[in-house]
Amino acid sequence: MEKIELITADITTLKTDAVVNAANNSLMGGGGVDGAIHRAAGPDLKAACRLLGGCKTGQSKLTPGFGLPCKYIIHTVGPVWNNGTEGEAELLASCYRTALELAVAHGVRTIAFPAISTGAYRFPFDKAARIAVATIQQFLENHPEPEKVYLVCLSETNRQQYKRAMNV
Ligand code: AR6
């Protein structure tokens, strides 16, 4: 469990090997954390994303970090919450799993995740936090790397919600 750490920060400032972006299917940028990452990384990121041909919900793709202090950005596409009727929980778990698989394939030792789908995509934070923690824990039980996974909180409320998810 100590491999998972909560951190209150703007994810674009983190010097981890990889940061995860909560993107959309086009991978061409948007609002929220996606907008912040694209602004901070600069226009080269959009050019790189254009070559990736989009990304399916629940899947992940990797680019360099460009203007960000991290080495890589792992773009993942969370599900839009629709009352849990469209496999949102499994798709969200898949985001965390595929991002971690991609990270390991690139030798990433430290990685930071935003709370995927909990903003514009309206996934209830408590549920999303439990899925994030359980999926990361399960991955770490079966893989020696990454050595550190940061869950990035923007608010004290979110931090408390993650803390609760980590105690179950
Ligand atoms: N650092 C860390 N966390 C952040 C930051 C930041 N700089 N900015 C926002 N968050 P969202 P989604 C948190 O809406 O729900 C975009 O337009 C925020 O508080 O960024 O997956 C994409 O292009 C929230 O808890 O992502 C897609 O169209 C969490 O990040 C769509 O939004 C996720 O909120 C994706 O929606």
- Residue with CA nearest ligand 1 atom 34: 119
Statement: residue 1 has pLDDT above 80: no
Atom of ligand 1 nearest to the CA of 37: 7
The average pLDDT across 83-109 equals 98
The CATH number linked to 17 is 3.40.220.10
Backbone angles phi, psi at 149, to 5 degrees: -125, 115
Three-class secondary structure of residue 7 per DSSP: strand
Q: What mean pLDDT comes out for the span 25-29?
A: 98
Taking residues 99-106, what's their average pLDDT?
Answer: 98
The count of domains in the chain is: 1
Q: Out of 14, 33, 160, 162, give the residue to mutate to test ligand 1, the one with the largest number of ligand atoms within 8 Å of its CB.
A: 33
Where do the H-state alpha helices sit in the chain? 32-41, 43-50, 88-105, 125-142, 156-167
Residues with CB under 6 A from ligand 1: 10-12, 22-24, 30-34, 36, 78, 114-121, 152, 154
Q: Which domain range does residue 110 map to?
A: 4-166
* pTM beyond cutoff 0.85: yes
How far is it, in rounded angstroms, from Cα 97 to Cα 80? 18
**pLDDT(148) > 70:** yes
Distances (CA, A) of 27 to 40, 82, 97: 16, 21, 19
Q: Catalytic: which of 10, 17, 34, 126?
A: 34
Encode pLDDT of 73-88 as tens digits. Answer: 999 999 999 999 999 9
